Amino acid sequence: MIDKVALLVLAGKVFALPVTGIEHILDGPRTFLLPLMPEGYSGVFLYRDEVTPILNLSRVLGISGTAEEDVPPLTVLYGCDSGLVGLPVDTVLRVVDRAKGSEERGAEGEDQGGPRHFVYEGTRYPLLDIEAQVASLPR
């Protein structure tokens, strides 16, 4: 199997995810806020009758000033050891073979879900480690 990377956009910020963790891409599901929602999550939605948390990617990507009513049109369903998590996304740019790009370490102090970037056609995409992001959140 060829290793692939999805190139995505949220609020004008580009990022990349390994395709191996992507279970499904949904049209923005109806989301709900829960009382005492753990920090790092922005809500939950129902997927196959299971409550699925939505990771606050705005925080991970350093996006500020997003209004609560600015609900992204897509949700990437991503599989982690702890279960499925939703990732809000505005656009899926493309899915590319990892071999057609390169990976590099981020600059000192850069940490957006892991200090790696996927470089494709001259653009640096933070390569997010969702597993590490979820594991670092308070339970």
So what's the pLDDT on residue 115? 61
* Average pLDDT, integer, range 91-112: 80
So what's the pLDDT on residue 35? 87
Q: Which of 2, 13, 10 is nearest to 86 (CA)?
A: 10
CA distances to 5, 26, 113, 122 from 103, in Å: 11, 28, 14, 12
Q: How many CB atoms lie within 10 A of CB 57?
A: 26
Q: Which of 54, 51, 35, 59 is nearest to 43 (CA)?
A: 54
Sign of the torsion formed by the C-alpha atoms of 90, 76, 63 and 14 = negative
CATH topology for 4-136? OB fold (Dihydrolipoamide Acetyltransferase, E2P) (2.40.50)
8 A C-beta contact, residue 26 and residue 47: yes
8 A C-beta contact, residue 133 and residue 113: yes
- Does the structure show a pLDDT above 80 at 83? yes
8 A C-beta contact, residue 24 and residue 77: yes
DSSP state of 29: -
Our measurement of the distance from residue 58's CA atom to the centroid of its chain's CA atoms, rounded to an integer in Å, reads 9
Tell me the domain boundaries of the chain: 4-136
pLDDT tens-digit map of 18-57: 999 999 999 989 999 888 888 889 899 999 999 999 999 8
